[in-house]
Amino acid sequence: MNTIARRHFLSQLSLASAAVATSGFGFARSGKPDEFIEVEIAPGKIKGVRSDGVNIFKGVPYGGKTSGDRRFRRPAPLQPWTGVRDATQFGAPAIQSPRRNEPAPSEDCLFLNVWTPANDNKKRPVMFYSHGGGFVVGSGASPGQDGANLARNFDVVVVQTNHRLGLLGFLYLDEIAGADYEGSGNMGILDIADGLKWVNENIAQFGGDPNNVMIFGESGGGAKTSCLYAMPATAPYFNKASIESGPGVRMTTKETAAETTAMLLKELNIAPKDWRKLLDVPAADLLVMQAKLPFVAPFIEKNNNRVGMQRNAGGFGPVVDGKVLPHHPFDPTAPEISRNKPLLVGWNEDEYTFFAWERKDTETFKLDFDGLKKKLEPKYGADTDKMIETYRKARPDASAPDIFVAISSISMMGLGSVDIAEKKSKQNQAPVYLYNFGYKSEKKIPGTDYALGTPHAMDISFKFNNEIAPRDGSQPKESFFGGNKPERFVASHHFAELWTTFARTGKPAAKDVPEWPAYNLKDRATMRIDTKCEVINNRFGEELAMWRSIGEV
């Protein structure tokens, strides 16, 4: 695929995820608290609430100051407190545009949230989620990923963090700022590592097992999980992982990160030797400057030979600095450091419809096959005819818009997911399981008669079991993406049960779902998750053979 074209898709990850992160998703929050719950952790006592059978602790600090003299550095030590600290309200998210129903964004954003059935010393599996939003927006308080239903219905503990994002989380200063700023290009991902360390030290007080921790994340959170899977700093603190619609095969190189830093300094009229002036620029001004830089997603492309290849400067995300992130997460191989940790990886069947919705793209859904070729040629060049021929043969009943959605969706999230599954399988150690989420929403893309199907980000509310009939018997509300059909509750239960069973045992399984074989290079088993789940061997085999033939897998 043309590199710039694919970057354009990937660059929508952060902007589009922002729309989801602030949308509210339209499911019911927990009711009034039944009682307050106190628990003592290392820095002091905190007070959460018990609501509808779940103990909920919000805005729990897991790190100290990251503003002032700690900007671009490791956090200050977390200071103990006296008395009982309130943990009934969400903590501040990282610097970004204001978020609905959350505190004002702040540089000091190291807070986490915990949902648990009980603080009873029972050793439940822990599900540690990294939010989406690329590496520039989002928080652990996004309503679609509320952890109460997972905790209540599947007896697990759910943890989610806020962490530094964007320029304040990933500005690479290692080469100009000295030893105190070593790892500066990875502060945001090191914050998540600190959250995992907090879990290791404190989660037993919340009924969780510190020796049975699953990390998972969607979109940008999937890319974060890819990095965590490859980092020495996190290796002692988790046992299994899931990368969802965000295959972080490659991250930013030091050279590209240094170029981005130089661009920023030039825009601010700061000489490299005067880099300390960055410490005095108000965070709001840095956010404005971040938006002025060329926005590209922090992924490095596989195919460097296509026309129009250019360096990927301008975006902010984890940096392959040789220390914090020793190498690309899944290039050239799956990380040796996690060879014994089971992995889930996959994507949604109609990822692109989300981006069409977000960008108000209606023209795509008027295409005929001549128009399809014209639309694809600038991106795929001489490979266009072969691509269309392959997809029309594999999907004889597909319309031109159907084929565009299929090509765009697999190129954005599917090829990297398959690449990860293949490389993990080649280790012949812990298993890897490949999936496609396929429940179809009937909701239409505004301005068209084309259904969303299974768009990017729709999996969030499903896997958190937040597509569920109201317990009071009232009429269900329409789901933000999932629509109105009651069968969505079945698909959500399947998804959530598969994920929580994987968290518990390292093997995904659920009632009324076929046994899910590990992926291997012979059968290439893929679980399609829907109201009725099925295992499909070598799914998209013809299409993937074509992608391989043009060097994209």
DSSP 410: I
pLDDT tens digits for the chain (553 residues)? 333 333 333 344 444 444 444 344 433 344 555 799 999 999 999 999 999 999 999 999 999 999 999 999 999 999 999 999 999 999 999 999 999 999 999 999 999 999 999 999 999 999 999 999 999 999 999 999 999 999 999 999 999 999 999 999 999 999 999 999 999 999 999 999 999 999 999 999 999 999 999 999 999 999 999 999 999 999 999 999 999 999 999 999 999 999 999 999 999 999 999 999 999 999 999 999 999 887 654 444 444 444 333 446 888 999 999 999 999 999 999 999 999 999 999 999 999 999 999 999 999 999 999 999 999 999 999 999 999 999 999 999 999 999 999 999 999 999 999 999 999 999 999 999 999 999 999 999 999 999 999 999 999 999 999 999 988 888 888 999 999 999 999 999 999 999 999 999 999 999 999 999 999 999 999 999 999 999 999 999 999 999 999 998 8
Task: Based on the fold, state whether residues 399 and 510 are members of the same structural domain.
Answer: yes
Task: Based on the fold, state whether residues 214 and 350 are members of the same structural domain.
Answer: no
The CA radius of gyration of the chain, in Å to the nearest whole number, is 22
Judge whether 456 counts as a catalytic residue: yes
SS3 128: strand
Instruction: Note the pLDDT of residue 304.
Output: 41
Q: Which helix (H) or strand (E) holds 54?
A: strand 54-61
Task: Based on the fold, state whether residues 86 and 233 are members of the same structural domain.
Answer: yes
The four Cα atoms 133, 295, 421, 518 give a dihedral, to 10 degrees, of: 10
Whether the model pTM is above 0.75: yes
Task: Based on the fold, state whether residues 358 and 490 are members of the same structural domain.
Answer: yes
Question: How many Å apart are CA 328 and CA 14, to the nearest integer?
Answer: 20
Report if residue 87 sits inside a domain. yes
Report if residue 250 sits inside a domain. no
Task: Based on the fold, state whether residues 378 and 482 are members of the same structural domain.
Answer: yes
Report if residue 182 sits inside a domain. yes
Parallel/antiparallel/unpaired status of strands 319-320 and 343-348: unpaired
Report if residue 321 sits inside a domain. no
Full residue range of the structural domain in which residue 217 is found: 14-244
Task: Based on the fold, state whether residues 392 and 512 are members of the same structural domain.
Answer: yes
Angle at 23 between CA 401 and CA 353, to 5 degrees: 10
Task: Evaluate whether 344 touches 502 at the Cβ level (below 8 Å).
Answer: yes
Handedness of CA 544, 545, 546, 550 (dihedral sign): positive
Task: Based on the fold, state whether residues 239 and 362 are members of the same structural domain.
Answer: no
Torsions phi, psi of 285, nearest 5? -70, -35
Task: Evaluate whether 214 touches 126 at the Cβ level (below 8 Å).
Answer: yes
Question: How many Å apart are CA 183 and CA 298, to the nearest integer?
Answer: 17
Would you call the peptide bond into 332 cis, given omega within 30 degrees of 0 as the criterion?
yes
Judge whether 242 counts as a catalytic residue: no
Task: Evaluate whether 252 touches 311 at the Cβ level (below 8 Å).
Answer: no
User: Look-up: residue for tokens 């992130």?
Assistant: 325
Question: How many Å apart are CA 319 and CA 479, to the nearest integer?
Answer: 37
Residue 381 Cα to chain centre, angstroms:
31
Total domains in the chain come to 2
**38 DSSP β-pair partners:** 47
Of the residues 142, 219, 245, 338, which is catalytic? 219
Task: Based on the fold, state whether residues 400 and 539 are members of the same structural domain.
Answer: yes
SS3 454: coil
Domain endpoint, select from 244, 266, 293? 244
Domain endpoint, select from 209, 244, 279? 244
Q: Tell me the one-letter amino acid at 489.
A: F
Q: Tell me the one-letter amino acid at 449.
A: D
Question: How many Å apart are CA 160 and CA 59, to the nearest integer?
Answer: 10
Report if residue 271 sits inside a domain. no
Instruction: Note the pLDDT of residue 553.
Output: 85
Task: Based on the fold, state whether residues 351 and 206 are members of the same structural domain.
Answer: no
Concatenated DSSP letters of 146-208: --HHHHHHH--EEEEE----HHHHH---HHHH-GGGTTGGGHHHHHHHHHHHHHHHHGGGGTE
Domain endpoint, select from 244, 271, 291? 244
Question: How many Å apart are CA 192 and CA 353, to the nearest integer?
Answer: 30
Nearest Cα to 9, choosing from 355, 418, 379, 458? Answer: 355
Task: Evaluate whether 288 touches 307 at the Cβ level (below 8 Å).
Answer: no
SS3 115: strand
Of the residues 163, 328, 456, 494, which is catalytic? 456
Report if residue 440 sits inside a domain. yes
- Contacts of residue 121, defined as CB under 8 A and 6 or more positions apart, other chains included, come to 204, 207
Task: Evaluate whether 429 touches 338 at the Cβ level (below 8 Å).
Answer: no
Task: Based on the fold, state whether residues 178 and 29 are members of the same structural domain.
Answer: yes
Task: Evaluate whether 126 touches 504 at the Cβ level (below 8 Å).
Answer: no
Q: Tell me the one-letter amino acid at 425.
A: S
User: Look-up: residue for tokens 């009937």?
Assistant: 442
Task: Based on the fold, state whether residues 54 and 193 are members of the same structural domain.
Answer: yes
Kindly report the CATH number assigned to the domain that includes residue 421.
Answer: 3.40.50.1820
Report if residue 231 sits inside a domain. yes
**CA distances for 22 relative to 15, 339, 375, 400, 480, angstroms:** 11, 36, 31, 32, 12
Task: Based on the fold, state whether residues 43 and 148 are members of the same structural domain.
Answer: yes
Instruction: Note the pLDDT of residue 29.
Output: 44
Of the residues 301, 349, 351, 467, which is catalytic? 351
Judge whether 219 counts as a catalytic residue: yes
Report if residue 380 sits inside a domain. yes
